[in-house]
Structure 1
Amino acid sequence: MNLVTPPSLRAAVRRSRVLLGATALLLALAAAGCTAATGAAQTATTPSVAGTAPSVDVTPSPTPSVDPPASAAATPTAATAAPRTPTRSASARPSVGSRLVFDPDGLGELKLGMTKKQALATGMIKSFQEKPAGSSCPSIAELKGTGGSVWWSTKLGVVVISPASGVETVQGLHVGSSRDDVVRVYPEWAVSGDDNGRLNVAVPGNPDARFRIEMANQKVTSIALQDAKQDCYE
């Protein structure tokens, strides 16, 4: 069964379709305009990342050097301001070129009572001369450096150390000292002969030894260290 649509109804349907199409077009245009406006607004208000991102310099700045004040560099410390002058110890050995010093037992490494072998080992004497003429001691050796002699006894070993010069006692007595110097340094002394002869004085620190001091014209001319019991020297 076929239905026949009246012409008036068809015309109404066409008008409705035209209105719907026009309405849809207007809505589409309106939507497009809003979108464009929104995008423009966002573009205008959003800052460019490339334009606003700051440049960061990560290179560290050098640390400045600090120079000390001129006064600090120029002023010496108390430790270096003035060198100290060393004091001489009473037991210090004399320096090279000064007099050798008798100690209570000998001269340097050479000691009273040594055997020939021990005396030679010090390097301070030359070889011993056996049975020297004019001496009752069996052996005599010459001292190196100072000159003079060393007398050796068969019974007592080295009994006399008699340098020719360049020697002093610990108390400072030496060749050239006056008679008054001798009395001042050794107040207890025994005279053998007169003031122009020789005298023996005790050796401080060694009761078994004596200093044999020869004098002429009130001056000391030689000093020897000898065993108090020497048996061949004179």
Structure 2
Amino acid sequence: MSAVGGAAALSLLAGTAIVLAKPGPTQSVPGAEISATGDVTAPPTERSADPVPTSVNAPGNSGIRTGSVTGKPTSSTATPSSDFQPEDGTDGTVPFGPDGYLALRLGMTAEQAEATGLITPNVQPISSKGCKGYDYKGTPKEAARYAVVISPKYGLVRLANGPARPLTAEGLILGSSEGDMKKAYPTPAGSHGAVGEWVTQVPGHEDKRFWFLVRDGKVSAMRLELAVQDCYF
């Protein structure tokens, strides 16, 4: 009985070892991909949500040194609208002037300006003087409150600042102080009669004008215009 019991015990232990040594089923990795060659690609790691872009038109937006007349701002936390990417891709601004803004240029025909895909006709597409009026795409304005104005005779005569944050060559941005504006552009060149406006020649371009609107001591709006036009006063 002792010999038989010992043999049975050894047999049981051997069977246990065999069971333990048997490999288990292959397990898949959630999210992993197997290529045609059999290579396994690990699942991608989770990314945090992209930061919500800040307004590109808000006066006084912090992060850019405002009012500098010596060159471009040193840094910025502002991000342009998703439809309008910065041309230089560094500080969230796009050049405003001396002859255009985004892909739009003063003197363009209506067909050329429309082909940029940046503008759409205003709800009142023809002005009282027979010029064409447009809004920036995705940002409609009230009737006859045009962002872009095109003359049948002179072509594109006015560009207002739009969805991308403008920066002049002299360092002026929305939110710059009135004092810094007049330091950069000390000489007025006519007026359209609006309260708080400042019209001045674009430096080095006698045929072009900057139009700035000041509210609460800061630049709140910009336009780039032809000095000679027939669409408005």
What TM-score does the superposition give when structure 1 sets the normalisation length?
A: 0.53
Gaps of 5+ in 2: 1-70, 73-85, 141-145
Q: Which runs of 4+ in 1 moved over 6 A?
A: 145-148
1:189 aligns to what SS in structure 2? coil
Candidates 121, 126, 132, aligned match of 1:131: 126
Note the C-alpha offset of 1:96. 6.9
Corresponding residue for residue 179 of structure 1: 178
How many residues end up aligned between the 2 structures? 143
Q: 2:103 aligns with which of 109, 119, 122?
A: 109
* 2:211 matched residue in structure 1: 212
Structure 1 unaligned segments of length 5 or more: list them.
1-88
**Counterpart of 2:232?**
233
1:140 to 130, 133, 137: 133
Provide closer, same or farther for how the CA distance between residues 113 and 196 of structure 1 changes in structure 2, counting only shifts above 3 A.
Answer: same
| 1:130 partner letter | P
Deviation at 1:187?
Answer: 2.5
Residues 1-234 of structure 1 aligned to structure 2 (within 5 Å):
93-95=87-89, 98-127=92-121, 130-132=125-127, 135-144=128-137, 149-164=147-162, 166-190=165-189, 192=191, 197-234=196-233
Q: Match of 2:129, as an amino acid?
A: S
Counterpart of 1:138 in structure 2: which amino acid?
C
Structure with greater contact order relative to length (CA < 8 Å, sep ≥ 6)? 2
Q: Give CA-to-partner distance per residue, 1:204-233, whole Å, 9 cap, x none.
A: 232100001111222111000001012112
Whichever residue aligns with residue 136 of structure 2, its letter is: L
> RMSD in angstroms over aligned alpha carbons?
3.0
Per-residue Cα deviation, 1:61-87 (whole angstroms, up to 9, x for no partner):
xxxxxxxxxxxxxxxxxxxxxxxxxxx
- The AA in structure 2 aligned to 1:98 is G
CA distance in 2, matches of 1:189, 1:142: 27
Normalization by structure 2: what TM-score?
0.53
Greater Rg, structure 1 or structure 2? 1
Deviation of 1:152 after TM superposition, in Å, equals 0.9
Q: Is the 8 A contact 2:97 2:224 kept in 1?
A: no
The aligned residue for residue 57 of structure 1 is none
